[in-house]
Amino acid sequence: MKRLITAVAAAGLLLGSGALASDHEHKEHKGGHWSYSGDTGPAHWGELKDEFFMCKEGKNQSPIDISRVIDAKLPKMDITYSGNAVSVVNNGHTIKVNTEGSNVIIVDGVKFTLKQFHFHTPSENLIKGESFPMEAHFVHLDKDNNIAVIGIMFVEGKRNPAIDKFLSKLSSKVNEEKKLSEMFNPGELFPKQLDYYRFNGSLTTPPCTEGVRWLVLKATVEASKEQLDKMRKIMGKNNRPVQPLNARCVLQ
Ligand SMILES: [Zn+2]
């Protein structure tokens, strides 16, 4: 019975794709590209490709303005980074640094391992209405590919040595990944104080997948004006606007 249903469904798909070939191709073509402005900007992401539907239909979307906060005695952040940042790439949307080794956070008793971190200028999340010049996202996955992201806000100040370690290696070519000559512990980009806000959200880029555990640090990290200018120049403005909180709570 299962096999029969599959066969019927496949026939339906074939007929459908024949009838709508030109429309489909156009959609696919357009769907390959999203951006931060104009026709392919955040307001249109949900229409660019079927797979992006959560960008317009989701009710737990990121980023948000962290303003209504509930006191909840959150556990101390359980983080053990002992691996390394190993390579850097400008993927056309962000500067992304790939990581290897055991960089682990425990959230709700579940182990999440850091895969990469990347940047947004200006910040995507706001804290009590305040925007920051840059926000870093540390993206972790558990064994079932659930996602936990740590957000860290950057302010203008002292030069940040860790940022130079990947900026100096970054290729000017989009999608050309470069190995770092000086690998470093991703924890070097963290502030000392690890108090955080916690909420449920989504990826801030298509397909805007929900079910993401967000942990945004309260303490900020410094980077020099020169470094921030350079990041901004490479990435452009790559922040999705804040999304409605709807039924969610932000805990601290
Ligand atoms: Zn991000």
How do residues 146-181 score in pLDDT, each as one tens digit?
A: 999 999 999 999 999 999 999 999 998 999 999 999
pLDDT tier, 4 (very low <50, low <70, confident <90, very high otherwise): very low
Q: Where are the domains of the chain?
A: 24-57, 58-251
pTM over 0.85: yes
Please indicate whether residue 33 is annotated as part of the active site: no
pLDDT of residue 49 exceeding 80, the answer is yes
Cβ atoms of 221 and 151 within 8 Å: the answer is no
CA–centroid distance, residue 28 to ligand 1 (Å):
24
Compute the distance between CA of residue 184 and CA of residue 227 in angstroms, rounded to an integer.
Answer: 18
Ligand 1 centre distance from Cα of residue 181 (Å): 25
For the packed helices 21-31 and 2-19, what is the interaxial angle rounded to 10 degrees?
90
CA distance 116 to 88: 9
CB 8: neighbour CB atoms within 10 A?
A: 10
Q: What percent of the chain has pLDDT over 70?
A: 87
Measured in Å, residue 8 CA sits from the centre of ligand 1 at: 41
> What residues have their beta carbon closer than 5 A to ion ligand 1?
137
DSSP codes joined into one string, 193-209: ---EEEEEEE-SSTT--
pLDDT score of 122 more than 80 = yes
Distance of alpha carbon 141 from alpha carbon 163, whole angstroms? 23
Q: Please state which CATH number belongs to domain 58-251.
A: 3.10.200.10
